[in-house]
Structure 1
Amino acid sequence: MDASAVNANVTVDDFDSVLSYADQAAWQTPDPSSPAFDAGTSEWLMGTYHTTSVVGASVSFNFTGPAIYVFGAAGPAYGSFAVEVDGTTSQASAYAASNASAPYMLYGAANLTYAAHTLTLRNLGKQGADAGGDALLFDFLRTTVQLAPAGATVKNQTLEETDPALKYTGTWGSNKSPNFSGGGSTFTNADNASVSLTFNGSAIYVFGDKKNDHGPYRAVLDGGAPQLFDGISGCGGAYGMTCEQMQPTLAFFASNLDARPHTLSITNIAGVNGSFFDLDSVVLSVPSVYAPRTLANGSSATNTSSAAPSSPSSTSSALRTAPLSPLLCLALSAMWLLRPTRR
């Protein structure tokens, strides 16, 4: 990592759609839409977590960058886990005689090549010297990306769902609430309804919504391979208007983009249930100077995080970016605090 460059720490919450749970039914999580839910009094990021006692349960994340850190819990109820990065597996235990304070770092790697990587966190249950149980708790992960070279500045541009740069096809509705970014959001449950945007920026963040009446959607950046995500929420239950994450979640993220115009399209895959996709806002990181990294594995300059949905799988996410530039960090933090409330 070039420490002199403008770098950003991107935080992905356990509810974010850029994560992929191999079997969502193997995990439990609080219901953010429950009247008793209060994220402000929780020790977990955004008040949510995913926990499992199923041996073999896993969650994966595709990322491009030199560093990644995984946070969860340690205590007497927890056992061992494995972390696989690009085919190399390490094993550790989350057992402790007493509960560790959160956030507890389960895994960290700061010396990866600047390249595309896949991380998988897998529950192993009680192993060897573990004196605890089979549980594993995942709270959030954090990765590092470069937004601009040394000496450059970066400004963030927020596009609300009504911005004329966003082009819609199919039928879309609207929600109004002071809790949404800009006071509103848009949604569709039409099959193949889409939204597209041509933009300039070194990174793009798309924020949406998690709920049990949401489902799979497809993202295509610059005509590349389609990336599949799933907007269904993580606390189980049948398809329906339940288990809503009241804060906006990260529906798509890409970085390491060059100075040319880029085009992103997102298409709802409604299926037989007529599942929904919600769009709240798009945030662009626009540098004064572009200098995308040449990836060590020979990949193109475009860097995306994608997740293939599991059976109705869900992955949530809020991108909380904390760039190493204090002003950029402040701007993105303010943007995150203004996440929407849903339909």
Structure 2
Amino acid sequence: MPLHNVTIDDSSALIEYHAPIGDWTDSPTTDDGLSNYYDHTYHSSNQYGASAFFRFQGTAVYLYAAKRSRHGQYNIFIDNKFVVKSNGYSETNRFLQDMFHATNLSPGWHNLTCVNADRSNKTYTEVDSILWTTNMAGYLTEISGKPIPYNSDSMKYSSSNAWSEYNGDSNPTTVTSTLGASVNITFNGNGIELYGKTGPSFGPFSAQVDGYDLNILNASSAQAHSTLIFRQDTLPPGNHTLVVINRSLLSLAISSAVPVTWSSDPNNPNPTPTSTQSNPGRPHISSGIIAGGVVAGVIVLAGFVLLLLWMLRRRRRARRERDIAVRSIAEPTYFDVTPFAMPLSSPTQSSQPYSPISTRGSKPRGEGSSPGATLSAQYHSVPGSPGMSSRGSFENPSGSGGFGASGSGSGGSNSGWPAPPAAAWGAIRPTGPRRPSGQALRIEASDNADMLRDR
């Protein structure tokens, strides 16, 4: 099925007209060509910068007007962006012309603006009618419901004193001139059309469905018209409420409202709404989407927890490996060594009590170095390989959370173990005992002489 198109006349309150000075000219009766226009009406202005603004919900829009000898240049904007400059001039009158159209728009709200671009203020820009394609899917059909008259029980007025009936023409209405006076219209369907009047005695008003979208419109016009003053569609099927409020001390006139339904079955224009249908003023989220979001959230949370546990475990393991590597470098072991002394042949040497000499607890005579100095020269940090730090463990730079690498260790440049330093006095040598000299020799001789006497 084809997409659904809606056409509004230039007199509709859905079109906003602005001019630097005064108003747009509205359907002058002195124009011999007036009967050739759509619904015998049109709006025009010869003021540079005069604009006509139309906001709609759909996927395409068409602007219709006449091309005449006194018409000139105009600019077109879509969604407040300049699109094209065109010209409405024609030597002969050509009515109901497609002055501009835009198709393949994304479904949603858009706006069309037409602006007089002639700086001389001598040529006219004109609007006759506007057609737009709704968001309704192509397989559906729009069906107009039974009109709701202004005196129906489906229309609830804020105050009986604020509203009154007007029967002065063929389209009776209810009218208010009270600021803030309102009417609530309940209906069933996918949309609503509101009919009323525009003219010099009418002014701004607002229309809103279920809190979905507030529309501020203006029913002011130079001539009086009975026309469509508001339309809202793309609503979920079901019951809705349209609230209309007068926003000035000028008049607001309402004649009727017509519900519209988008149905795949033309014989059943009002399908029963399901329990999943929601308020159109708020995004509808199905239970499946909610469940999927919950599951995804749980999965993401579990992933974060597992990642945190893995990082903590890795950090503890790296710390344990580092501690083991440090402990594997045993601290220096000190030995109490008693040098082997050969007995002397002369027993006449002075004798002193024999005491073992310890490299840890005594200081050799005649040497200025301390045992600590000797040990610090003897024991070195374990040199690391290119993949190890100076502590002998795989590198774990501080602050890395227990993993990662930031470079080679301080001992990584050494090609092998350093050569051992010269043995200190009293230290073990692999070639056997060292014979002491000097005073130490005399001490040992004295001790051995005493041992020989004991025998």
Structure 1 runs (4+) deviating above 3 angstroms are 36-39, 146-149, 287-291
- Amino acid corresponding to residue 29 of structure 1 in structure 2: D
Q: Which has the higher helix share?
A: 2
Partner of 2:156: 167
**Cα deviation, residue 92, structure 1:** 3.4
What is the match of residue 224 of structure 2?
244
CA distance in 1 between counterparts of 2:247 and 2:164 reads 16
Aligned sequence identity (%): 24
Cα distance change, pair 244–38 in 1 and its aligned pair in 2 (3 A): farther
Residue in structure 2 matched with residue 29 of structure 1 by the alignment = 26
Q: Alignment partner of 1:143: what SS?
A: strand
Q: RMSD value over aligned CA atoms?
A: 2.9
- 1:124–1:134: 8 Å Cα contact kept in structure 2? no
What are the superposed Cα offsets for residues 22-81 of structure 1, whole Å, 9 maximum, x if unpaired?
A: 3382421235xx7x8999x61112222111111111011111111100011223222211
Secondary structure (helix, strand or coil) at the match of 1:103 reads strand
2:2 maps to 1:9: no
Q: Deviations over 1:212-268 (max 9, x none)?
A: 1111112122124532111121x2xxxxxxx322xx212211111111322110011
The Cα shift of 1:94 comes to 2.5
User: Which residue in 2 is equivalent to 1:203?
Assistant: 191
- Measured after TM superposition, the shift of residue 151 of structure 1 is 5.6
Higher relative contact order, structure no. (Cα contacts within 8 Å, ≥ 6 residues apart): 1
The residue number in structure 2 matching 1:158 is 147
For the residue of structure 1 that corresponds to 2:39, the secondary structure is helix
Residue matched to 1:215: 203
Shift of 1:126: 6.5
For the 8 Å contact 2:185–2:241, the answer to whether it is kept is yes
**Correspondence for 1:186 among 143, 149, 174:** 174
- Structure of greater Rg: 2
Contact 2:144–2:258 (CA under 8 A) maintained in structure 1: no
Q: Between 164-173 and 72-81, report the one with greater CA deviation.
A: 72-81
Residue 67 (1) aligns with residue 60 (2): yes
How far the C-alpha of 1:178 sits from its partner, in A, is 7.1
The alpha-carbon distance between structure 1 residues 124 and 280, as it changes in their structure 2 partners (threshold 3 A), is same
Q: Which has the higher strand share?
A: 1
For 1:46, what is the secondary structure of its paired residue?
A: helix
Taking the aligned partners of 1:155 and 1:229, their CA distance within structure 2 comes to 23
| Distance apart, 1:149 and its partner CA | 5.7
Task: Choose which of 76, 79, 83 in structure 2 pairs with 1:86.
Answer: 79
Q: How does the TM-score come out when normalised to structure 1?
A: 0.70
Distance 1:167 1:281, change over 3 A: same
1:29-48 matches, within 5 Å, as 29-30=26-27, 42-48=35-41
Does the C-alpha gap of structure 1 residues 37 and 80 become closer, same or farther in structure 2, counting only changes over 3 Å? closer
Q: Is 1:275 matched up with 2:250?
A: yes
Give the Cα–Cα distance (whole angstroms) in 2 for the partners of residues 176 and 147 of structure 1: 36
What is the distance in 2 between the residues matched to 1:93 and 1:152?
35
**Separation (CA, whole Å) in 1 of partners of 2:125 and 2:17:** 14
CA distance in 1, matches of 2:129, 2:140: 31
Distance 1:96 1:288 in 2: 43
Paired amino acid for 1:172: W
Q: Does the Cα contact within 8 Å between 1:208 and 1:250 map onto a contact in 2?
A: yes
Which of these residues, 116, 136, 141, is aligned with residue 130 of structure 2?
141
For residue 22 of structure 2, what is the amino acid of its counterpart? A
Report the AA paired with residue 166 of structure 1. Answer: M
Residue 176 of structure 1 is matched in structure 2 by: 167
The CA deviation at 1:283 is 0.6
Q: CA deviation at 1:157?
A: 1.9
Equivalenced residues, count: 266
Show the counterpart of 2:243: 265
Secondary structure of 1:258's aligned partner: coil
For the 8 Å contact 1:18–1:61, the answer to whether it is kept is: yes
Q: Contact 1:203 / 1:286 at 8 angstroms: preserved in 2? A: yes
Q: Match for residue 298 of structure 2?
A: none
TM-score, reference length from structure 2? 0.53
Structure 1 residues 201, 147: CA separation in 2 closer, same or farther (over 3 Å shift)? farther
